Amino acid sequence: MARGIDVHFWHVARLALLLPLLFYLTYEPQYARRPVSWAQMMLFFAVLLALPLVGRALANRIARIDSETVLHRASVRLNRLLGMARMAALLWTSAGLYVFGYGDWVSHVVSRFAQPSLAGAVLATLPAYGTWLLLYWAQYPAERTLREQAILIHLEAAFPVRAPPTLVEYLVYQLRTGPGVILLPVLAVLLLRDVTHLGLKLAGVAPNVYVESALYTVSALAVFVLSPVLVTRVLQTRSLPPGELRDRLSRLAGRANVKFRDVLLWDTGNAACNALVAGIVHRFRYVMLSDLLIESLPDEAIEAVFAHELGHIVHRHIAWYGVFLFSSLVVLGWVAVPIEWMARRAPFAIYPDVITGVVSLGAAMLAFGALSRLFERQADVFAARAMQSHPEAAGEPAGVDQGGRTPSQPLAVPVGVRGASAFSNALRRVAYVNNMPLEAWTFTHGSIAGRIRSVESLAADPTLTPRFDVSMRRTRAVVVVIMLAAAATLALH
């Protein structure tokens, strides 16, 4: 979640940052328009430049609004508009590659490298990512005004108050949480692949298609395991200092039997009240809590948010995302078969690879969003269970229950009123600190209000929690079936 007006498109915009890279990595020169002219190239860049200039003019106009209610409504509309503009800029990369000649120019420049290379990926995607960042520059005046008005509200609520970030701080934060987290691991895969490829070439080995596939697979696995170390550097983190809060979090992790390398304090410059977990292997796994989260929430609410992140670990959501990605790549091949069949019989020219990519990518993103929202709900339920089974719920000291035994693990109890209330209050507090409307909906998380209603509905009937567990097992079974079908398809080919 992002503090301020950047609400509705925060998650999907960052996931969509992969689009330009995917367009380039699947680029087929034979489908590109030729011949091209400098006028067409200028049109490609002119559209990208116009988006932030128009957005800046609108943001400056909104920043002059005096009424708090009108300002908030206008800011929400601007956020949606600029969110769509960011998506359009990322999608416009495809037009640049295939229609306006940018792909042909990039291929010419990096022709000395084996495709796809890191140099080509950076050059091909730089216009889209530059425009993505400029659109945040455009949004800044409205964002700053909204945060200045929120200062009075936070003062009345006795929340910590900080001056709005400068433009540089604001853009650096967007870079770190956007391209820094999403793109750097992918670029690291390309770099590792290029270095290995160069080493083989110098050794006199000519890589074939099988060696190329093996290089990508090994590089991706290595980066997948080690990327949390990179992420912690990009996000500016440090170990959470010793004290009562860290002790509480350590006891909760012990009750849940969860292992990780460290709990980190995430320095956002008080720009976000948020938490996240990174890492599939416990030796390279970190739980990160933002500075604003630590300052603005009481210990119990922080513990509830921390429990949500533990839920992602306990249910192995990161690994399941990997399974989903593997399955999706093969499903793309299934989609290509009927599209190629239609392309051969169509009375007009159809580029099957391009259509397959667009249709498959759209379907994969929709499926990913649905799966992500389910996993978020499962982590919410785990957090509510953790707070329900908390030893302090019965008025006992932390670490023992009424019989002097070790407390039950969170998954052993259904969601109750106490657990649902503790977690729901934490969600409300996070939304309030982030200036986020409870009904605001995000692609990967849903809405805060919907998540609260879901947890509280489980508390109303103890039999509903086991039913929820069964439904999640069925969802995983569906993903496993798709993965097995994908593996069978690869074996047959």
pLDDT tens-place values along the chain, 493 residues long: 334 333 333 444 566 788 888 888 778 777 776 677 788 889 999 999 999 999 999 999 999 988 877 887 888 889 889 988 998 998 898 888 888 888 888 888 887 665 557 888 889 999 999 999 999 999 999 989 888 877 777 676 666 677 788 899 899 988 988 888 888 888 888 887 778 777 777 777 766 666 767 777 777 777 778 888 888 988 889 999 999 999 999 999 998 889 999 999 999 887 788 899 988 888 999 999 999 899 889 999 999 999 999 999 999 998 888 778 777 766 666 665 666 666 565 554 555 555 666 666 677 777 888 888 999 999 999 999 999 987 665 444 444 443 444 445 677 788 999 999 999 999 999 988 887 778 877 777 888 999 999 999 999 998 999 999 999 999 888 888 877 776 676 566 5
Inter-residue contact 307 to 279 (CB < 8 Å):
no
Residue 155 and residue 8 in one domain: yes
Look up the domain containing 309 and give its range. Answer: 299-493
Of 188, 144, 209, whose CA–CA distance to 170 is shortest? 144
Among 168, 184, 200, identify where a domain stops.
184
Domain tally for the chain?
Answer: 2
Residues 179 and 327 occupy one common structural domain: no
In a domain, 455, yes or no: yes
Burial of 412 (0-12, 13-18, 19+ CB in 10 A): exposed
201 within domain boundaries: no
User: Could you say which of 184, 212, 243 is where a domain stops?
Assistant: 184
d(CA 75, CA 70): 8
Q: Backbone phi, then psi, for 48, in 5-degree steps?
A: -65, -35
Q: Within 10 Å of residue 61's Cβ, how many Cβ atoms?
A: 13
* Residue 411 resides in a domain: yes
For residue 221, tell me if it sits in a domain.
no
**pTM of the full structure:** 0.80
Identify whether 237 is part of a domain.
Answer: no
Query: Is residue 321 one of the residues assigned to a domain?
Result: yes
- Does residue 5 lie in a domain region? yes
Tell me which of 184, 213, 229 is where a domain ends: 184
Angle, alpha carbons 221-224-227 (nearest 5°): 140
Whether 219 is in a domain gets the answer no
Residue 445 and residue 306 share a domain: yes
Pairing assessment for the beta strands 286-290 and 275-278 based on DSSP bridges = antiparallel
Distance of alpha carbon 384 from alpha carbon 382, whole angstroms: 5
